Amino acid sequence: MTRKQLIEAIRSKSSYLCVGLDTDPERIPKQLLSSPDPIFEFNKAIIDATRDFAVAYKINTAFYEAQGIDGWKAMQKTVEYIPKDIFTIADAKRGDIGNTSSQYAKAFFEKLPFDSITVAPYMGSDSVQPFLEYPGKWAIVLGLTSNAGAADFELKTMEGSRLYEQVLKTVAEWGTDENLMFVVGATQAAEFKNIRKIIPTHFLLVPGVGAQGGSLKEISEYAMNEDIGLLVNASRAVIYADNTTDFASAARKQAQAYQQEMKTYIR
């Protein structure tokens, strides 16, 4: 999906909601567990319920890889089921030496039809570049994360600037705002103004709204740019809004609530 197509989808739905499909078999409603593929059946119901309000779905691959081959198959069925006009993210946090990253890119962009993949930049440009060689595909690079451990490295000052600032400045030169996004955690709202000074036009994938306590209002106020420039992810708050037979309806209601709030912030 191109930047133009993504912006058009956001404007059309008045939404920059990304629904995270962090599907844990232990949290799937019990009535689905007897089906041949409970993970896919759950995801299918969530997608059907929320597709009117979501512009992206983020599949956290760890939840699928932990289930072995069955989980991988469920992931493939899920990404293939998502409507083509909705942006898809493989939250895989890959990043390795060049020839290995090339294989990761092939796995997620050729064998699986993802639009994007999250990437760790620690190993440098040759570990990220292979993901930038696919037209219409995106590398979403870890910038400033929402976890407590971000203080261990990302927020440390080195040579007059914090490490995450150096990452943003350096990585932005490896691609463009047409194929690079950055992950910035919702709990880092105080940093958004500074981040926008460094990367004013790039899209940001912002996890941490909902269960992690990030403020949608603050994100929208401090990080939105002329093209919106945001994909705000909510996972548990949407997909586990209810664990009864009404789980899909509850997910739809929660997704709609996020969309309605987002609509008020869009300018």
Q: Helices 38-50 and 247-265 meet at what angle, rounded to 10?
A: 40
Count structural domains, the chain.
1
Question: Which pLDDT belongs to residue 267?
Answer: 83
CB 259 within 8 A of CB 45: no
Looking at residue 75, which CATH number applies to its domain? Answer: 3.20.20.70
**Range 69-85 average pLDDT:** 98
Tell me which residues are annotated as active site: 93
pLDDT at 211: 60
- The answer to whether 215 and 187 are in contact (CB under 8 A) is no
Pairing state between β 138-144 and 180-184: parallel
Q: Are strands 87-94 and 17-20 parallel, antiparallel or unpaired?
A: unpaired
Segment 199-221 shows an average pLDDT of: 87
Cα atoms in the 13 Å half-sphere on the side-chain side of 165? 16
DSSP 8-state symbol, 61: T
Asked whether residue 210 carries a pLDDT value surpassing 80, the answer given is no
What tens digit of pLDDT does each residue of 33-45 get? Answer: 999 999 999 999 9
Res 209: pLDDT: 79
Q: Residues 127-131: what's their mean pLDDT? A: 97
Q: What is the pLDDT of residues 147-189, one digit of tens each?
A: 888 888 888 898 888 999 999 999 999 999 999 999 998 877 7
Instruction: Provide the Cα torsion 101, 103, 108, 113; round to 10°.
Output: 130
Tell me which residue range forms the domain holding 182.
3-265
Q: What is the mean pLDDT of the chain?
A: 94
